[in-house]
Amino acid sequence: MKREGITYGPVAGYTALLAAASAALGWVVTGKWYPVAILLVPVIGFAGFRLVRLYSDSIRRVTFMFNAIDNDDFTFRFHEDPRKVDNGMLNAALNRIKEIMVRAKMRAEEKERYYQLIMECARTGLITINDAGSVYQANGEALRIFGLPRMTHIQQLEPVAPEAYRVLTTIRPGEKHPVSCVNETGEMHLSLGCSAIRLEDRQLRVVVVSDINSELSEMQIESWSKLTRILTHEIMNSLAPITSLSDTLLHIDRTMNADVAHGLDTISATSRRLMAFVENFRRFTKIPAPQKEPFEIRELLGQASALIATENIGVRVEVEPADTMIYADRTLVGQVLVNLLKNAREAVGTRREACIEVRSYIDPQENVVVEISNNGGAIPAEVTENIFTPFFTTKPDGSGIGLSVSRRIMQLHNGSLRLTANTDSRVTFTLVFG
């Protein structure tokens, strides 16, 4: 029904019909024209029935939309038929509501992904739990600290870190507790702090887990770097003239007293040993910035293994997936691998059943992990405490910088190097490329 360019739908038509029939019925009844009144009653009933049906159909569509949204289903769309004015207008309105909800959902998902990325990029462990101990979220650093592939309840920590488990059950917002955990690599010192948050009518606790050992390690390396830069400068300035003068006097064309010659020779040899030691200092402090490029880890592992393999000692290499790529400095990472493999070869020595294994895989946080293992026997506890300390060595001719330089190289790659297994049957060093 149209009038002066305005389109009216069924609702308006049936409403007008119901109003007109009701008015006519009143006028007829007033005039006592009862036979005519009997004819108007079906018209009023028909108009009322159609209005109720249209109303019910609208309610049904609105209910369907809210049920779909409540079930997170946004695939529906109502047909917008321009010939059916009331249906078309309602359907268009419902479709618009759906589009607004879809945009709001997409914005919420983008924010969630953003916050998830922030959590995963954090160098600190983050665990979100409720009062019952259920874990809603745990980032990769928290899983790495506790050595778990995933965490759904804090009770999973009881066997691996009982003290941390007890603190997590009682810690309250604003509190901070130091925690010690013992694992295969020795004692690990943690700091646990807690904050409160309310999310979807649920009261949650966000626990921050800081690996104090890791923080101290970085501070120690920085302190050693500053110290060695000063020492190398001062020692080299003092050694250079001593070495030069002693060599000059030793090769002078003049007969020399035997004791004097022996003394000069001792001075020269000692100064050269000191200079070699200083060179090790320089190697520790002058690690170049990584020149990163993408390459397959299998190729580098194969090259490093070939360098240390002997007739009696083979290296078994396993890479899964076979085409694993890393983005790193090939030369520096190769130096780390060769150093660890040389240590493994020295550890197994001449054992009859010597075994060196190299395994590469991708962990749940999508980090590339390389494990280098040997069966050369457990490293003594007093040694494991200092193996990453610069210039600490148990070898008569060792410099003591191999593992410390290797760890520093991994840190420059935003990765880590840790002793993750230390038993008589298996010693494993693990590299994680973040």
Dump pLDDT digits (tens) for 24-37. 666 666 766 666 66
Q: In this structure, what token pair is assigned to residue 264? A: 């000069």
Residue 403 has pLDDT above 70, yes or no: yes
Report the C-alpha gap between 69 and 158 in whole angstroms: 41
To the nearest whole percent, how much of the chain has pLDDT over 70?
A: 68
The Cβ of residue 347 has, within 10 Å, a number of other Cβ atoms equal to: 17
Report the C-alpha gap between 409 and 330 in whole angstroms: 11
Strands 356-362 and 315-319: parallel
Question: Which residue would you say has higher pLDDT here, 293 or 246?
Answer: 293
CA 126-129-131 angle, to 5 degrees, is 150
Residue 316 has pLDDT above 80, yes or no: yes
User: What's the average model confidence in pLDDT over 370-381?
Assistant: 88
β-bridge mates for residue 138, sequence order:
127
pLDDT of residue 180: 78
Report the C-alpha gap between 123 and 116 in whole angstroms: 13
Report the C-alpha gap between 254 and 73 in whole angstroms: 100
Residue 371 has pLDDT above 90, yes or no: yes
Q: In this structure, what token pair is assigned to residue 341? A: 């493999």
Give the best-scoring range by mean pLDDT among 47-61, 185-199, 347-361, 382-396: 347-361
Report the C-alpha gap between 325 and 254 in whole angstroms: 64
Dump pLDDT digits (tens) for 261-296. 777 777 777 777 666 666 655 655 567 788 899 999
pLDDT of residue 8: 45
Q: pLDDT band at residue 201, thresholds of 50, 70 and 90?
A: confident
Strands 6-7 and 2-3: antiparallel
Residue 58 has pLDDT above 70, yes or no: yes
Report the C-alpha gap between 378 and 250 in whole angstroms: 48
Report the C-alpha gap between 115 and 94 in whole angstroms: 32
Backbone Cα Rg of the chain: 39
The Cβ of residue 432 has, within 10 Å, a number of other Cβ atoms equal to: 21
